[in-house]
Amino acid sequence: MNALPDFFPLAPKACAKPAAAFFDCFSEKGNQHTQSDPDAGAKGLAECAQTLAAYEQCMTRWRRKTPQPPLYRVPEEYRSSVSSSPQ
């Protein structure tokens, strides 16, 4: 089964055209029009495979070129603690 990439629905300016083409295609083909169709999303992905591939290719290049922000660990005093036994 096809799945959306982990960066979906990100659409940076560098990938605006392929993102718009895929989003438009998927919005049109992946919709449940008249009756409940649990496979509508999968069918939409299959029909939009070419635009999805272009979107993924552009995003992969963009992610390689663009430095990602560093991840930070939240200081201990801001973390919530969950107790296993009520007191």
* Distance, CA of 4 to CA of 59 (rounded, Å): 13
Q: What pLDDT sits at residue 67?
A: 82
Residues 6+ positions from 45 with CB-CB distance below 8 Å: 2, 3, 4, 26, 30, 52
Task: Please check whether residue 71 lies inside any domain of the structure.
Answer: no
Task: Please check whether residue 86 lies inside any domain of the structure.
Answer: no
* 43-81 per-position pLDDT tens digit: 888 899 999 999 999 999 999 998 877 777 778 887 776
Asked whether residue 84 carries a pLDDT value surpassing 60, the answer given is no
Q: What pLDDT sits at residue 1?
A: 44
Q: Look at the chain and report how many structural domains it folds into.
A: 1
Task: Please check whether residue 20 lies inside any domain of the structure.
Answer: yes
Q: Is the pTM of this model over 0.75?
A: no
The range of the structural domain enclosing residue 14 comes to 1-30+40-66
Task: Please check whether residue 79 lies inside any domain of the structure.
Answer: no
* 9-51 per-position pLDDT tens digit: 889 999 999 999 999 998 888 777 677 777 777 888 889 999 9
